[in-house]
A = this chain, B = another copy of it.
Amino acid sequence: MTADPVPNASTRVRRFPTLGPELFDALREDRPRRIALQVPAGLVRNATDLAERIREETGIPVVLAGRACFGACDVPSRDEVPNADVSVVLGHAPIPNVTLPMPTYFVEMRVPAEDPERLVRTLEAAGIPRRLGIVASVQHLGLVDPLSEALTARGYVVRVGQGDRRLAYAAQALGCNYTGAEAIAGEVDAFLFLGTGRFHPIGLAFAVDRPVWSLDPLQNTIESPIDRPALVRRRQLLVASVRNVERWGILVSTFAGQNRTATALALQERARSRGRQAEILSFARIDPRDLEGRNVEAYVNTACPRIALDDSALYPKPLLTPPEFLMAIGELPLDPYRFDTYH
């Protein structure tokens, strides 16, 4: 599925490695009247202190965006913080092909690169394959080069892919887009993800038919691959179970980087041509309660693909990605399974 065409991203996007003097200098120079500060869920505990720090360093009023961000796709809209004229977004890199609602300072929260030799010993001990593609969360991108060099010195073959216009950096992982990994999948026996948590390894496992190992660079711990066939089989069974559904809801989010209205309209057209009912539901952030009690049998979600894949237990009805929906109404085969890569 392709995102709706957007003009090139605003030029008023700036990137900073950490929340430090470079950011404060830039804010003091640009002199916004009010700053919207948005933090990822993991930093919510520190949000008020971070807001106070920015205010003290710059002398500019700060408003906290009430909801945490999950990606550079759901930055604050003008509607959510109408009195702010710039956003400071922590923990994410800009998505190059997304047009932002206001000037935005992305603070990528990079962590210093850890000792690659120590990490290589862990990888060797785990018996990781020798032809490797590397993917990393933004925080750990600084480790990609030193670790690749250390691995190559030990005889590993390391590949790093450059993704499409949705990815700012080579090797970068985005929950909805692993096109960098897809580009080199044919050259490697496995992928190595650098970062924490299972969110990116699961996405990567959906996107590429290769084992995905995860290395937490801070803990120096490695996790062996998740069971891709089980993930895919569960989705194929879900798709098969809704093949006869007559009443569909098509979900559209209006977040800057998640709005696929054109895709939704195209899916509605396909559904109708196959004799199904399909209503479009529009929202900013979706809440499972919004789908309760509706006279609809199943949904296709054109917003973040990970909502359908990861959060389905929270929803009262089956929730499919766009390619899964096309499988359900008979426009695509069930196999091979297609990840909803968001371009």
Contact = CB atoms under 8 A, between A and B. Distances in A.
A115 B287 CA distance: 41
B249 A48 contact: yes
Interface string A314-343: 000000000000000000000000000000
This protein's copies in its complex? 2
A80 interface: yes
A78 B279 CA distance: 19
A162 B81 CA distance: 34
A247 B45 CA distance: 13
Given A68-B290, A79-B77, A282-B36, A295 B47 contact: yes
Interface string A59-83: 0001111111000000011111111
A81 B48 contact: no
Q: How large is the interface on A (under 10, 10 to 19, 20 to 34, 35 or more residues)?
A: 35 or more
A82 B286 CA distance: 16
A282 B48 contact: no
A157 interface: no
Interface string A25-69: 000000000001000000011111101100000000011111110
Interface of A: 36, 44-49, 51-52, 62-68, 76-84, 247, 249, 251-252, 254, 259, 261, 277, 279-287, 290, 292-296
30 contacts: A44-B292, A44-B293, A44-B294, A45-B293, A47-B279, A47-B294, A48-B295, A49-B295, A51-B279, A52-B279, A63-B252, A64-B281, A65-B281, A65-B282, A65-B283, A66-B281, A66-B286, A66-B290, A67-B283, A67-B287, A77-B79, A78-B79, A79-B80, A80-B254, A80-B284, A82-B254, A83-B261, A83-B282, A285-B285, A287-B287
